[in-house]
Every structure is written in structure tokens, then in C-alpha cells.
Amino acid sequence: MKIAVVEPDRDRAIQIIDALRDDGWTDVTVFAETTSLARRLAELEPDLVLIDLTNPSRDSLEQVSAASDAKGRPVAMFVDTSDEEMTTAAMAAGLSAYVVGSPTPDRIKPVLRTAIARFKLMRQMRNELDAAKQALAERKTIDRAKGMLMRARNVTEEEAYGLLRRTAMDQNRKVIDVAQALLTAAALLK
């Protein structure tokens, strides 16, 4: 696993690297500055990002979150101080772990494992939500096409769906594709 560590303090960076290596994670790159972080992380393409910020502001939190692509990979952030607003902002930014306190060697491994697990869970939930939205959109399209067929052919809803389904089978297409083509053709004929 390729890990990027964002740590401006050299001594803390060495401590983090040592803790990661002790846990078997050897592919570690440290960034001491957050300037050009997005570009440098894009070049590195790490599997996980660990960030240690002493006292983050909401702006720095959002900047680091965006730069590290918190919704595209697990990101664990250690901060020395926080409040409810910062915690809420961290979760909204998509951080997988937001920990108040120093990244001590005994805390790093469990925090990173938790960040990875939470990231996987959130990714799965986002995928399921996207699939549900897609299914709902397809259902609406099919319902509109059925309604159009019901009015044009004076048939029941079941007969309209059967017609869509038979057409899809005959043309070796999906029902949604036939429904969309019908709606597109109807819009052209108006």
C-alpha cells in the first residue's frame, strides 16, 4: 500500500514513518508542505493519505481534503485541537478518520485500519445510492414511455410494458433503451 504523509514537523514525520514501517507499511512518501499538494498527490497516486495538522482552519481542512481526494481514497487526519464545527466540516469533507491528538506510534495502525474500513463502507454506500438513483431515473423514463403508449394505443399499463419489453427483446436491447428512444422520437415529432 502506497501511503502519503502530510507532516510539516520533521521529527513527527520521522516518528510516523517509523511507526508505519514497524507495521509493515514501507512505501511511504512525506510531504512537509501543503502547497501544490493536489498536484504532488496526483503524481504519487497514493492508496492512503495521513495528514497531521497542528491547528487546522476550516479553509485548510477543505483545501487538504480536496487536494488529497478524500472521496477517492482513505484519508486520516490527526489534529491537536478541534471543536464540533471542525469535526462536522471534516466529515462533510469526506475524511475517513478525524482524530484529535498526536499520531503516536500505538495509534497510527488502528486509525489507518479504521480509515480504510470506513472509506470502503462509504464507497459502497455511495455506489448503492448511485445505483438506486439510476434505477429510479430509469423507472421514471419507462413509466413516461408506458404512459405515452397507453394514450397513443389505448392500452393498459401492463400491455404498454409488454410492448416495450417485446420490442426490447426483438431488438436485443434493454427496456430502458427502448423507452428512451420512444421518448426521444416523440419529442422530435412534436
Instruction: Look up the domain containing 48 and give its range.
Output: 3-103
Domain count, the chain: 2
In a domain? residue 116:
no
**111 CB-near residues (< 8 Å, 6+ apart):** 76, 78, 97, 99, 103
Shared domain for 17 and 94, answered yes or no, is yes
The C-alpha cell at 10 is 520533521
The C-alpha cell at 25 is 507499511
Shared domain for 86 and 8, answered yes or no, is yes
* Residue 98 contacts residue 77 (beta carbons within 8 Å): yes
pLDDT value, residue 57: 67
In a domain? residue 120:
no
Query: At 141, which helix (H) or strand (E)?
Result: helix 105-153
- Whole-model pTM above 0.85? no
Query: 89 falls in which pLDDT band (50, 70, 90)?
Result: confident
Stretch among 47-51, 136-140, 176-180 having the lowest mean pLDDT: 47-51
